Chains A and B, each alone.
Chain A
Amino acid sequence: MGNSLKSEKMPEVYIAGNNMMTSLGFTTDENVENLKNDISGIKLCTDKNLYPTPFWASPLSTERLNDSFAGIADIALFTRFEKMQILSLTEALKNSKVDVCDTKTLIILSSTKGNIDLLEENRFNPKRVYLWETAKRLAEFFGNSNQPVVISNACISGVLAIITGMRLIKAGKYENVIVTGGDILSEFVVSGFQSFQSLSQGPCQPFDAKRTGLNIGEGCGTIILTSNSSLADDSCLIRVTGGHSSNDANHISGPSRTGDGLYLAIKGAMSEAGILPENLDYVSAHGTATAYNDEMEAKALALAGLNHVPVNSLKSYFGHTLGAAGIIESVVCLYSLKQNILFNTKGYQEHGVSVDLNIIKKLTPAPINSCLKMASGFGGCNAAVVFQKKIVS
């Protein structure tokens, strides 16, 4: 009882703005327009600076990145990763009432590898390879004086960043938290995933019987959180109501065979949100399209009693954007909540996991009041977060 009394006094956490930047567009609207038209940004990449042989991935347009950034600052002074981060944050702030310079505003940066291309590049101070240095520069660029928080926790970094932002607001530490995350397409990462033989020989097919692996994506996502309802996005009041992380304690580079670790994260997030499985409207899966990940997620959903809830994976649209994935895919969740529309899992044709799932096969209008976003990553880590529409009584 003590806990529930306490939580009643805690502030609610609202969405106050967002942006996503992927191969499918630099704004959220542009991205969802492409999703609606079933267009994927995954293509065959032949750049030998990224890998000696051709591979399928979802890169951002360098030309567009530089053109867009030139309107903000000198392109020569910033790295590719920094340009992406600054652009995404700028876009998100443009449509938000939250003041980035407010001392009650914190920036959280999520990334797996940040400026990792600087290991091979001498144009910039080598110090910039440190993630906290990038975060510091980002905060300085926008005139925010609080020491930014950095999370680097493999592929769950983005979801963890949203959870951390929610908690810091609920604990009364900040009024607003700007959660932003990104990862670039680099030879470092492509060669690593190739060595694991986990890259798909074509556009990935989440949950499909013929899936052969993932595509790396490049992108950036930003979600602005606030406890001040007057700063919230009032076109549709959406709250972050629960989040939880867990570890499989099983294997460093393979997911649990049972889904029990992810199940713990789902259970913790749903219980904090106070939502029962039968009342959840939509699950946004991690769905990397590797054999083991999708099977593990299916089992976790069954354990949580969520295997009948509509579920999709968005990885076949813009690839696996690593440290940005949790944020970018949450931005799509927010759109689904706002517009009451669910996107299909592109590339899914023949069911390929051992549990029956309600995989979304076509663009589906449906009343969506609640959504669970989940993620899993190397190191056996899992995380889940719940978004809900504010029900005005």
Chain B
Amino acid sequence: MIEITNYCAISGSRISVNGQTDFVQDGDVLFTDFIKAAYRNYKVDYPKFFKMDNLSKLAFIAAEVLLKDTGFLTRYQPEDIGMLFQNGSSSLDSDLKHAASIKDKTNYFPSPAVFVYTLPNIMIGELCIRHKIKGENTLFISPKFDAGFLYDIIDNSFTTGKIQSCLGGWIECGNDNYHAFLFLAEKKIDKGLGKNVIFTVENLTTLYHQGIN
């Protein structure tokens, strides 16, 4: 049996871990300010964070919060951890930045530091570097979180022995709208990890909606 051993959500200036609010900022807070405040709150020391685009920053903080104190990364070989993500608007936020840099032919300044983030899977790459994860990884683009499809893909990867554990979820970062929902899926182990949730489509759907602020 596969279980969701931990999950976290970021939306509307609030971060929750396993359903409990962990960090929140009141009022009308810009995403860029909020995510920096979260970085400081969790006392992360990773200067590369400041070079990332908004999508990667969101995924990065969600993964930091999710993995903290879980021992997840020590339980598996790097190549046995899968990363299977979904997202709605790909890298549109960075796409618009790159497009603006080439709009005016007299002021033409495309930059590799922006362009690289016009590939939405870069966020997966950032997490792999940070957490030394080398297993299977794919980004699916979907109009909305598709729990049924993500379940099928992850369940099949476990069944066929392609992965021993999984970091999965939904990372969306548009102009004013951002939402991260990440979870850890693991095979049930003898030593209980706490109040785990069975990995099902229904549970994925419930936990996803719980995190929307």
Contacts and interface: CB of A to CB of B under 8 A. Distances in A.
Contact of A188 (B98, B120, B124): B98
Contacts of A87: none
Interface string A1-12: 001001100000
A250 interface: yes
Interface centre among B96, B105, B153 (most CB of A within 10 A): B153
Nearest to A135: B141
B173 to A, nearest CB: 14
Nearest to B161: A3
Interface in B113-136: 115-116, 118-122, 124-126, 128-129, 131-136
B141 A245 contact: no
B102 A152 contact: no
B21 interface: no
Nearest to B130: A249
Contacts of A168: 152, 156
B99 A120 contact: yes
A227 B92 CA distance: 36
A188 B139 CA distance: 21
B: contact size bracket: 35 or more
Contacts of B105: 52
Given A249-B128, A252-B129, A379-B124, 11 more contacts: A6-B159, A130-B89, A150-B142, A153-B138, A167-B156, A170-B160, A173-B152, A191-B101, A192-B110, A250-B129, A378-B125
Contacts of B2: none
Contacts of A39: none
9 contacts: A130-B143, A147-B146, A151-B139, A153-B139, A171-B152, A195-B112, A249-B129, A379-B121, A381-B137
B32 interface: no
Interface centre among B89, B133, B160 (most CB of A within 10 A): B160
A272 B162 CA distance: 9
Interface in A148-167: 149-154, 160, 164, 167
A378 B134 CA distance: 14
Interface residues of A, number: 56
Contacts of A131: 90, 141
A192 B131 CA distance: 28
A151 B119 CA distance: 11
B108 interface: yes
A165 B156 CA distance: 12
Contact of B116 (A7, A149, A252): A252
Interface in B70-98: 78-79, 83, 88-90, 92, 95-96, 98
B25 interface: no
Given A120-B99, A247-B124, A381-B125, A150 B141 contact: yes
Contacts of A52: 105, 108
Contacts of A377: 119, 121
B137 A246 contact: yes
A247 B135 contact: yes
B119 A379 contact: yes
B118 A152 contact: no
Given A152-B139, A379-B125, A167 B133 contact: no
A152 B129 contact: no
B210 interface: no
A195 B99 contact: no
A116 B111 CA distance: 17
Interface string A118-141: 011000000001111100100000
A168 B152 CA distance: 8
**Closest 3 pairs (CB-CB, A-B):** A379-B125, A192-B115, A150-B141
A150 B146 CA distance: 12
Interface in B22-45: none
A253 interface: yes
Contact of B125 (A113, A116, A173, A252): A252
B140 interface: yes
A195 B108 CA distance: 11
Interface in A230-273: 244-253, 261, 264, 268, 272
B161 A164 contact: no
A149 B139 CA distance: 11
A380 interface: yes
B95 A7 contact: no
A165 to B, nearest CB: 12
Contact of A116 (B78, B95, B108, B140): B95
Interface centre among A112, A196, A251, A381 (most CB of B within 10 A): A381
Contacts of A7: 160
A192 B98 contact: yes
Nearest to A2: B161
B134 A195 contact: no
Nearest to B144: A132
Contact of B137 (A119, A247, A378): A247
A249 B134 contact: yes
A129 B149 CA distance: 23
B43 to A, nearest CB: 23
B83 A247 contact: yes
